[in-house]
Structure 1
Amino acid sequence: MTVLLPLTLGLVYIFMWLLRGGSREPGLPPGPPTLPLLGNLHIFPKKFAHFKWVLKVGPGTAIVLTDAAAVKELMDKRSGSTADRPPMHVADVVAGGLNMAVSRYSESWRTLRKTAHTILTPQGSMKHLPIQRAEASQLLHDILCRPEAFYTHIRRFANSVILSVLYGKRAPRYETREATAFFEAQHEWELVLEPGATPPIDLIPILKYVPERWAKWKQDCAKTRKMQRKLYFGLLDEAKERLSQGEENGCFMEEILAKQVELGMDREMTGYLGGILMEGGSDTTSSYLQSLILALVAYPDAQRKAQEEIDHVVGSLRMPTLEDLEEMPYIRAMISENHRFRPVAPMLIPHCALNDEEYKGFLIPQGCTIFINIWGIFHDPELYDDPENFIPERYLLSENGTKPGADGSDLRPNLPFGAGRRLCPGIHLAQNSIKINAMNLVWAFNFTTDIDAQGNPIVLDTFDYQNGLLTAPRPFKCKITPRSAEKVDLIKQEFLEAADIFSKFEFGLSEEDKEFVMRSRAKC
């Protein structure tokens, strides 16, 4: 009897705690009705969460911000309280807590962040413009030769730029060994992180102790960790070897290796910093450019206006430069509109509150998960006229694209890149790639609807996007044709002239890569 009584009381306490765990605490913002234990977990969207919102997830609390003023106040002005990430056990298993994008707000994170900011300044990013322009010239040439493969040409471009910038080694083909290894590892990583792919380990911590032979998620994490480490640390060691032999080419990792002690970086941190920057630089830029082409096909009037402007400024006797963009208000508006129309990270990566915060009478409790619904903000009809359509002109009428009478003062141009202390450190590098390619693509090609086997136009679905924290349009078909013979000649000439820049980054190419490079240049 003396044993049963405390055991019974303990079970009753746990049961009552579980029941209470699904209820909404006083003071929280309003949300849908909850169920005992589950809260709103039963209605939490497993895909396209940016179309919905939820506030109670089991015993935890999740708050969704779909208001620019709230984002500005809580995430930017009070960033010291909202800079954490929610617990993500699978990410810690894979990357040892050193994936800067999803790791907790810790001393290691601060060191990684400071190191990235030290190197990726606006001025530091400018020195990488030559390789960005050279890779952009290959993108045009690749599309000219095989327009049907534009989707993977864009992925190769983005991956090769960040490989060159980080490790001083490029990928001339989509099938280059390092590019293939990255895309394979990234696929496994995204599967591990996908909602519903693993048990709710962070909600039920005891699941961490299930033996690996009975836990497929542990096997998947181990596989992903092995793939990532082989790639990240292999590339790091190659850069270190070149540096020791005096063959440096000014890449990011050379700077970090030379300042490791000063920066407080060890080998593990350096390897994973390169990894997360490669992940962000490959996925976000390629997703943005794929969405831009989708919009140009779906909205031919916008494409025509952009082409008229760039023809007026640049003409057909040379290619555009970054300096030209100052004279192209419509194309600048088009770039901003594409961020709004199809943000690469519709919900960003969730934050976590380090302290209790109060906002407009509502409690933002310590430990709650905070989602920033970028999609919801950018498609708010109170802020934007006809928000579901691609209309660059809106950014000619007001700085933030808002409709007449709407207060857009709480919006900021870099909102798609994150908030507060979690703003993307590679923003300047990414913006340069976006600007260069947006101008190049509009200048060089016409993008139109393709036809099917029966001769009917293929209607594009501008909502057909991949699921995940980072989204991109699913591969789609369109017709891409050069705008003139003069532009074809210039594309070939620019690609040939880029050979000298490429040569500084063409280390350890396979025989297949070398053959591809020679064959590509021979076509010019």
Structure 2
Amino acid sequence: MAILIPLTLALVYIFLWLRKVGSREPGLPPGPPTLPLLGNLHIFPKEFAHFKFTEWARTYGGIYSLKVGSGSAIVLTDAAAVKELMDKRSGSTADRPPMHVADLVTGGLNMAVSRYSESWRTLRKAAHTILTSQACTNHLPIQSAEASQLLHDILCCPEGFYNHIRRYGNSVILSVLHGKRAPRYETQEATAFFEAQHEWELVLEPGATPPIDLIPILKYVPERWAKWKQDCSKTRKMQWRLYFGLLDETKERLNQGEENGCFMEELLARQVELGMNREMTGYLGGMLIEGGSDTTASYLQSLILALVAYPDAQRKAQEEIDRVIGSHRMPTLNDLEEMPYIRAMILENHRWRPVAPMFMPHRALNDEEYKGFVIPQGCTIFVNIWGIFHDPELYDDPENFVPERYLLNENGTKPGTDGSDLRPNLPFGVGRRACPGIHLAQNSININAMNFVWAFNFTPDTDTQGNPIHLDTFDYTKGIGTGPRSFKCKITPRSAEKANIIEREFLEAANTFSKFEFGLSEEDKEFVMRSRARC
């Protein structure tokens, strides 16, 4: 009998404690109703989370909470909250939530997803050291040369534009980082990256794997019974083979005196100064390839989708570029200053279809208070950029592509609305986790946006009766980073003169390309010779 009393009390305590698990603690922002133990886990979206998070924001407000078991998540769909908590208080919100799957793949050395640690600060410092605005300006020749090939590839094979753009994004970042370009979409390094990146994004997508970090015992499930572990192992092998293969090639060229000024040459030369070892250096290069390859490609694919779906915007952009540039030369970055509509179009594309609609989740390092709500230490913070950029309280007709909104004011918000909490580079991230390659990315976006509008007409594909085929502007890939699925459209040169200029510019880029054409396969060499012979 004596032992039954403490046992009963213990069971009652456990029962009462379990009843609280999953409940929203006092002080948390409101949110969807919870269930015992689960919290909101049963309704947490497994894909395209930004749509559901935006729906909830319209019900529960610009800052609300979700309970995932005993853990808490804060969702920010309010520009003022993002500015205050993620930018001004970035020292307290710069951490990442524990991500066991990311650690399995990268050993905690991928700067984009790693915890806020000394290793992360070392990686971040190294990235900022080499990716300065001036340093990126020095790489404009290869970016412009690759942009000329992109135009040439589309001119020669317009139906393949989707993959031509992917090749461009990958080749630019490979050239700038490792001094080695990808002349074809099928170039070995390019295909290896696309395959590895696809697997990596699937691993990282919210809801794609079991809640290992909330239920740690799942870590001990044998790999043969855990597909997510198999996926992590597969992804790690793919990334390691590519990233460290490129690093070793760059180091070998450096040792042989065959430098071409790429960023990783500088990083290798300054490893000791920056506190970097081989593993950190290889993963930093890999993360920068990830950050600069598919993101740029997805942005440009969305831009073409917008030009096809919104012909009035295309026409106005063409009228402006014809007025400034004419037909006898291609545009340059210096010309953009004279093109307010195209600058507005570039900003609107970021708003309309952000490449990272949810960013990577953050984690609070300390308790924070905001407008009477508690943001508890250790909680996950989601920044719902999609929901902000599609907020009808901020933007007129937010679901449509309307560049004119950015001619009214720099933030594109509706008249009479305070948009001061927004900033033009918000699509590139927040606080201390903002994209370090922003200067490089903006140069690629600006060059190609002008080139597309100057060179081509983009119109819908047609059926057998000649009727335009409707494009689904919401048909996007799933993952942390997202872009339109492959789609069909008609792309034609705007004039024979412009087609000739494209061919001439591509031929003249051969000298720039030659500095980056190391270790090409026989198929790559044949492609290079054949494509230049056509000019």
Q: What TM-score does the superposition give when structure 1 sets the normalisation length? A: 0.98
Q: What is the deviation of 1:214?
A: 2.3
Structure-to-structure mapping, 1:65-464, within 5 angstroms: 65-464=76-475
Query: Match for residue 46 of structure 2?
Result: 46
Alpha carbons 1:385, 1:402 under 8 Å: kept:
yes
Q: What is the deviation of 1:13?
A: 4.8
Task: Compare 454-463 and 264-273 and name the one that shifted more.
Answer: 454-463
Residues 219-264 of structure 1: per-residue CA shift (max 9 Å, x gap): 2211111111010000000000000000010001100000000000
Equivalents in 2 of 1:12, 1:224: separation in Å?
46
Residues 330-351 of structure 1: per-residue CA shift (max 9 Å, x gap): 0000000000111111111111
Equivalents in 1 of 2:320, 2:373: separation in Å?
48
Q: What is the deviation of 1:456?
A: 2.4
Q: What is the deviation of 1:387?
A: 0.9
Gaps of 5+ in 1: none
Residues 350-401 of structure 1: per-residue CA shift (max 9 Å, x gap): 1110000000000000111111111111111111111111111111111111
Q: What is the deviation of 1:16?
A: 3.9
Equivalents in 2 of 1:10, 1:149: separation in Å?
67
Equivalents in 1 of 2:5, 2:219: separation in Å?
30
Q: Partner letter of residue 404 of structure 1?
A: P
1:476 aligns with 2:487: yes
Q: Partner letter of residue 269 of structure 1?
A: M
Change (3 A) 1:51 1:91: same
Alpha carbons 1:212, 1:218 under 8 Å: kept:
yes
Equivalents in 1 of 2:371, 2:392: separation in Å?
23
Equivalents in 2 of 1:27, 1:190: separation in Å?
34
Equivalents in 1 of 2:277, 2:398: separation in Å?
47
Q: What TM-score does the superposition give when structure 2 sets the normalisation length? A: 0.96
Q: What is the deviation of 1:215?
A: 2.1
Q: What is the deviation of 1:15?
A: 4.8
1:242 alignment partner, SS class: helix
Equivalents in 1 of 2:17, 2:262: separation in Å?
54
1:55 alignment partner, SS class: strand
Q: What is the deviation of 1:14?
A: 4.9
Equivalents in 1 of 2:516, 2:450: separation in Å?
25
Q: Partner letter of residue 252 of structure 1?
A: F
Q: What is the deviation of 1:204?
A: 0.4
Q: What is the deviation of 1:42?
A: 1.1
1:496 aligns with 2:507: yes
1:86 alignment partner, SS class: coil
Equivalents in 1 of 2:174, 2:358: separation in Å?
27
Task: Compare 382-391 and 498-507 and name the one that shifted more.
Answer: 382-391
2:457 alignment partner, SS class: strand
Change (3 A) 1:445 1:210: same
Alpha carbons 2:202, 2:479 under 8 Å: kept:
no
Alpha carbons 1:18, 1:59 under 8 Å: kept:
no
Change (3 A) 1:8 1:176: farther
Change (3 A) 1:167 1:7: farther
Alpha carbons 2:351, 2:389 under 8 Å: kept:
yes
Change (3 A) 1:87 1:113: same
Equivalents in 1 of 2:224, 2:7: separation in Å?
32
Gaps of 5+ in 2: 54-64
| CA RMSD in angstroms, aligned pairs only | 1.5
Query: Match for residue 35 of structure 1?
Result: 35
Equivalents in 2 of 1:87, 1:176: separation in Å?
35
Equivalents in 2 of 1:110, 1:173: separation in Å?
36
Q: Partner letter of residue 305 of structure 2?
A: L
Q: Partner letter of residue 356 of structure 1?
A: D
Q: What is the deviation of 1:21?
A: 1.9
Alpha carbons 2:201, 2:481 under 8 Å: kept:
no
Q: What is the deviation of 1:31?
A: 0.8
Equivalents in 1 of 2:332, 2:2: separation in Å?
83
Equivalents in 2 of 1:437, 1:12: separation in Å?
66
1:290 alignment partner, SS class: helix
Q: Indicate the percent of aligned positions where both proteins have the same amino acid.
A: 85
Equivalents in 1 of 2:6, 2:172: separation in Å?
63
